[in-house]
Structure formats: C-alpha cells, structure tokens
Structure 1
Amino acid sequence: MGPETLAQVLRPLHERFPPGEHPDVLVGLADADDAAVYRVSDDLAVIQTLDFFPPVLDDPYLYGRIAAANALSDVYAMGGEARLCLNIAAFPEGMDPAIPAEVFRGGAAAVAEAGAVVAGGHTILDEEPKYGLSVLGVVHPDALLRAGGARPGDALLLTKPLGTGVVLTAAQQGVPGHEAALEAATASMVALNREASRLAREAGAHAVTDVTGFGLAGHASEIAAASGVRVVLEAERVLLLPDALRLAAAGAVTGGGRRNVEQLGARVRVGPGLSAPLVDLLYDPQTSGGLLVALPPRGAAALEEAGAGRTIGSVGAGPARVEIR
C-alpha cells in the first residue's frame, strides 16, 4: 500500500485520536516514522512496532530469522534497543509442525542476538504462511531518532546494499546465475541493524529510517518531507548486492518497485543518463534493508571507516524532494 493510499485509510484513526489529546505519544499516526513511541517518564519511552510477511525463502529457519530481523529494525531506526517480542504467525491447516517450529526457531535466534526475549504470540490458520514480530523497545526520550531532523550540510549514509527485492524475484523466476546473489542477499537480510544504529547514534545522527517496502527513493523522500530538506542521492555510489544490477537488467524487477515509481511521482526527480536497471534498484522494495542515516560528514566518515556503510548522498536546503544524480 502506497503512502497516499495509506494516509487515506488511516484518516478515521487520526480523527479518533487527535495528537493534541495524547501528549505522551511522541511518535504516532501523524508521523511518517518507523514505529510508535510512548513516553512513560522523563527518562524512559517505549517503542512499539509490528511487522510480518509471507515467506521470502524456502528455508523456514532463514525465513523466520529474516522476518524477525526486519521487525527488529524498526526499533533500531528509532535509536532504541529491543526488549520484548511476541510472535505473529499464520500457517495452513495440516502443515508439518516441524516447519512452523523452524520458523519460530529462526525468529528466536534473531531475537536472542538482539538481546531481547520472545514471551508469547498468536498464530492463526491461513492458506499462505506468514510470520513476524511485535517488538517492544526502549529509548531515552531525548535520544529518540526520527525521519525528521536532517539538516542542510548533512551526509547521507546507507548501511546495507540494495537489491533484495530484485534478487528474490530472480530466484523465484529461476534467472540463470542468481545463486551467488541470493546467498549475499540472505546474509544481508539476516544481519541486524543493531550495531549500525549504535554507531549512528555515537556519530551524531540527525535523522534515521530503515529502507524497506518503499525502496531507497521512497524512504529518502520520507526524510526529505519530514525534515523539510532536499535530499540528493548519488546513484553510482549506492551499495548494491552482487549481480543485482545484472539481474535487474534481465527483467527481475518487482511489482512493488513499479508501484513505488508511480506513487512517489514528482517527489523524486531522476536525472538524465542513469541506466534503467540502476534506477529500478533505487525504487526496489527491500526486505530487512539497511539504515539510511543523515549525519554530519565527519560522522559519516567514521561509520565508513568502521565498515558500517557508505556515503551515498547529501542533504541541502530547498524544496522537500529527492534528486537522483
């Protein structure tokens, strides 16, 4: 569901829960951020998020681990640490119980790596399997990171390579030579954003979001709109998964990527001379993608030196939009 459609669907909730009547909701329905945040006290806020999706791989353990890493990422994008998780799942009636058990085991491995705990959950019957987590995190209210806050002069850094949507599509289509790319994509998707979030906080990050369903272009647009700044992406500097460009050129592009192009419209301006496969990757929906961080150039250099990402653009004054060069 695109941003405009989502805003229309959520309008009745905005009317029922006006932000002014709930001052302790620091991040809620009115904000284009990665999770909801509620202030419990002057020095503690809780972060709440929920995410789940159908299988992206045939291996149930890896699927569970990726889905959990994807859900946990929202907490890291807000500058917090995960504490408590609940499974949310759906499986077909009659499925071999060993399969859900492996999905849950994979999710538990990611949660344990995050230093959190799975304390329960809810499972229903459905023809198509689905799995994810509801995650409770914690953060000091003054340390909260948001999509708004990027400043002119900031560098933009991406912590993971792009291309999971294209690579997963290529695997589903059986595009020749996709195997190495799928292995690299799997390694990227199971990796938590916890350490990248910590380094971004230490480097003085001004704005953060994780790159997921709206693609790099879409989530950069969220930073631009929330911060009131112009975001410039240098396409040739963007990290890509191995073979992702070749697979995109072979036609392994996603329907979600095409919808992103249509829904973002004039909010993203693509410069001349860029190859169509590269542009496709900038709109490509990501599963368990990296963090997009706006921070001072010196902080971006520190993260690059630590091997935590690559500077891919900059923030400038001007109309709130994204320019891809």
Structure 2
Amino acid sequence: MNEENMFCKGGGCTAKLGPGILAAVLEKLPKYADSNLLVGFDSSDDAAVYQLTEDLAVVQTLDFFPPMVEDPYIFGQIAATNALSDIYAMGGEVKTALNIVCFPEKMDLNILGKIMQGGSEKVKEAGGVLAGGHSIADSDVKYGLSVMGTIHPDKIYKNNGCQEGDKLILTKPLGVGIVCTAQRVGESSKEAMGSAIKSMTTLNKYAAQIIKKYRVHGCTDVTGFSFLGHLTEMLEGDFGAEIDSLQVPYIKEAVHYANEFFITAAGQRNRNHVGDRVAFINVPYAMEEILFDPQTSGGLLVSMHPDDAACALKEIEALGLPCGIVGTVTKTNKKIIVR
C-alpha cells in the first residue's frame, strides 16, 4: 500500500486559493444582467440560484480538492459531504450530482474505486442521484462533485441576510484543519482524528432540516475561509458581531495542537485577509487560530431570530456533534468582537 502512504499530502479546503486572491479576480469579471439569476458570484454566496418558474429555482454548486486523510473511501465521503453542503447552506434539496475526478494513470484503480464508492454513498444519503461525471489524468488525486438542487425562490438562505440582534448558531465543531495538520506529521491522537472525520462526514442535511422550522435570516457553511472569514462575508460590512469564544464548539485537542503550531498556511491567509475586521479581547492564541482555521466540510453558520435560537439549538444538539449559540449580530459596531 505504498501508494496509499503517499495519498494524503495535505488537502481538503486548505487547498483553496486565498480569499484575497480570489476576490481580486472575481471583481474583474463582468456581471451579466439576468433577472432569473437570483444568486450569483457577486455576493460570495455558497451556490448559484436560477429561477425557472414562479415556485421553482435550481441551486448549482461544485467543489473538489486533494485528499486530507489517508483512507480513500473516507476521503470520498468527506469530499462529497463537503460539496453537497452548499445546497443545504442555501436552503435547498439535493437532486443530482456529477463526479469530478483527477487521478494519476499509474496509481492503483482500486483506490479510485474506493473514493467514488465513498462519494456515491453520501449522494445517496443526501437523497440525490449520482448521474455521471468527468475525469482527467493528473499528477495528483483530486475528487469532488458538481451538485444540482432545487428550492422555492422565496425560501433561499442567502449568506448576507443578517439582521441586528440575530443569534449566530454554529452546527459543527471547529479545528478540523489543525487536527488534520497534526495527523500528517504523526502527532494527532486517534480520538482527535476520529472526531474530525465524524464531523467532516456528517451531512449538513440534518441541521438544515431543523433550521427550516425557524426564522433564519442568513446562512452559510464554514469551509476554507474559516469561521471568521465566512462570518465576515455574512456581515458584508453592514453589520458587526459579538462572539463569545467560550461558546464556540471545537475539537478539544485542537487547542493543544494550535499551541504546538500545527497550523496551516491557509489559516494565516485567512488571518491576513479579515484580521483588520476582528478585535480579540482576552482570547488565547490557540482560540484565535481555531477561529481562523480552514475547515473541510464544516458546519452551518446560521443567523437566526433571537427568540428561536435556543429551541433550534436544542434540536441540533440531538444530532450528536458539538454546536453552540456563538454570538450576536450588531449594528452600531461593525467590527467582529471576540471575547
């Protein structure tokens, strides 16, 4: 299994281009006027939404990346779970998916089979149909999905619909990037890696089904740009937030690994990109790193009416992953204050 020993070289959402680089490119692209395009790339949202009829719109997204774990089957599960997440972050339902595969021709095809099996099982769990895909020969392994879902045009969860006073709910723990970094150098415990894998392979479908019962004003999934990076996109310069670091869910071993500097370059890019919007007050270094840590297949970050948050959280807690009401949306102060 020598090929599998070289399988994971560092990947997942840490492989994303930095948010600053991406923004510089996207802002130069022309914007096309189409009244049926309800959500495009101009709002940094999780997926595109295109209206077909008065009561039907399609949600489109794609995501793929290199492996962040050694087991090809688990990698396939994680990559698929991550790609499917964007549909749930918009409030939609998964319908079809297409495989995206980059694979070295000289590598054992059984490895590719395991990857695609893991992905296929997650599409099925999501209630979708795997309808095909596309593959190319490449020097390194990459895998993901293009996903299509549906939604009612009046029920879209945009990422920038926050309202003053909203409570912020995070449905999965942070620290996945830090734990995977420690794992690559042989320093992560089995318990920590097990917690990370459980989080990364849990569909956001279940949390999304719960929050639909409540008054949701904004939603996104926390991935490569970190909790603070995606929160900044949600607030869009119009709002600020008060974050209680003691309520932020995270994989407990991540604190130790962050203090040992098992951190990622992507995390530092996140800090550089949004650090001027954030003020830390008596927050330990390790927690700062966890909040800037790029997540792979992270949880939903939900901006919800304050009267609904406690009831919603109680239901989300029953799903079995660390979660929490992590803060409040503010209007007078437009910075993110972390205490």
TM range (shorter): over 0.9
Secondary structure of the residue that 1:115 maps to in structure 2? coil
Q: Against the structure 1 CA distance between its residues 193 and 222, is the aligned structure 2 distance closer, same or farther, given a 3 Å change threshold?
A: same
Give the CA deviation at 1:233: 1.2
Superposed, which structure 2 residues align to 1:244-323 within 5 Å? 244-271=254-281, 273-306=282-315, 307=317, 309-323=323-337
Amino acid at match of 1:219: H
- C-alpha distance in structure 1 between counterparts of 2:273 and 2:284, whole Å: 21
Superposed, which structure 2 residues align to 1:4-153 within 5 Å? 4-13=20-29, 15=30, 17-18=31-32, 21-153=33-165
CA contact (8 A) 1:215 1:283 kept: yes
2:214 match? 203
Question: What does the per-residue CA deviation read over 1:272-313, in whole Å, with 9 as the maximum and x for residues that have no partner?
Answer: x21101110000000000000010123211122111531010
Secondary structure of the residue that 2:267 maps to in structure 1? helix
1:2 match? 18
CA contact (8 A) 1:270 1:323 kept: yes
Superposed, which structure 2 residues align to 1:167-246 within 5 Å? 167-175=179-187, 178-225=189-236, 228-246=238-256
2:14 match? none
- C-alpha distance in structure 2 between counterparts of 1:310 and 1:23, whole Å: 37
Amino acid at match of 1:311: I
Give the CA deviation at 1:183: 0.5
Q: Against the structure 1 CA distance between its residues 12 and 266, is the aligned structure 2 distance closer, same or farther, given a 3 Å change threshold?
A: closer
Secondary structure of the residue that 1:298 maps to in structure 2? coil
- C-alpha distance in structure 2 between counterparts of 1:146 and 1:171, whole Å: 35
Matched residue count = 318
- C-alpha distance in structure 2 between counterparts of 1:133 and 1:278, whole Å: 32
Give the CA deviation at 1:72: 0.4
Residues 303-312 or 29-38, more deviating: 303-312
- C-alpha distance in structure 2 between counterparts of 1:73 and 1:185, whole Å: 16
- C-alpha distance in structure 2 between counterparts of 1:249 and 1:102, whole Å: 35
- C-alpha distance in structure 1 between counterparts of 2:333 and 2:103, whole Å: 46
Q: Against the structure 1 CA distance between its residues 316 and 49, is the aligned structure 2 distance closer, same or farther, given a 3 Å change threshold?
A: same
CA contact (8 A) 2:19 2:270 kept: no
Amino acid at match of 1:132: G
- C-alpha distance in structure 2 between counterparts of 1:142 and 1:236, whole Å: 35
- C-alpha distance in structure 2 between counterparts of 1:312 and 1:256, whole Å: 23
- C-alpha distance in structure 2 between counterparts of 1:189 and 1:29, whole Å: 25
Amino acid at match of 1:206: H
Q: Against the structure 1 CA distance between its residues 11 and 312, is the aligned structure 2 distance closer, same or farther, given a 3 Å change threshold?
A: closer
Unaligned runs of 5+ in 1: none
Q: Which runs of 4+ in 1 moved over 3 A?
A: none
Give the CA deviation at 1:319: 4.7
Residues 25-34 or 74-83, more deviating: 25-34
Amino acid at match of 1:312: V
Question: What does the per-residue CA deviation read over 1:130-184, in whole Å, with 9 as the maximum and x for residues that have no partner?
Answer: 0000000100000000111111111111000001000000000111x52210011
CA contact (8 A) 1:225 1:320 kept: no
Secondary structure of the residue that 1:206 maps to in structure 2? strand
CA contact (8 A) 2:18 2:266 kept: no
CA contact (8 A) 1:145 1:207 kept: yes
Question: What does the per-residue CA deviation read over 1:55-91, in whole Å, with 9 as the maximum and x for residues that have no partner?
Answer: 0111111000000000000000000011000000111
Give the CA deviation at 1:29: 2.2
- C-alpha distance in structure 1 between counterparts of 2:64 and 2:201, whole Å: 15
- C-alpha distance in structure 2 between counterparts of 1:41 and 1:3, whole Å: 34
Give the CA deviation at 1:98: 0.7
Identity of aligned residues (%): 43
Q: Against the structure 1 CA distance between its residues 264 and 160, is the aligned structure 2 distance closer, same or farther, given a 3 Å change threshold?
A: same
CA contact (8 A) 1:229 1:319 kept: yes
Give the CA deviation at 1:243: 1.0
CA contact (8 A) 1:66 1:189 kept: yes
User: TM-score under structure 2 normalisation?
Assistant: 0.91
Secondary structure of the residue that 1:297 maps to in structure 2? coil
- C-alpha distance in structure 2 between counterparts of 1:4 and 1:53, whole Å: 19
Unaligned runs of 5+ in 2: 1-16
Amino acid at match of 2:161: G
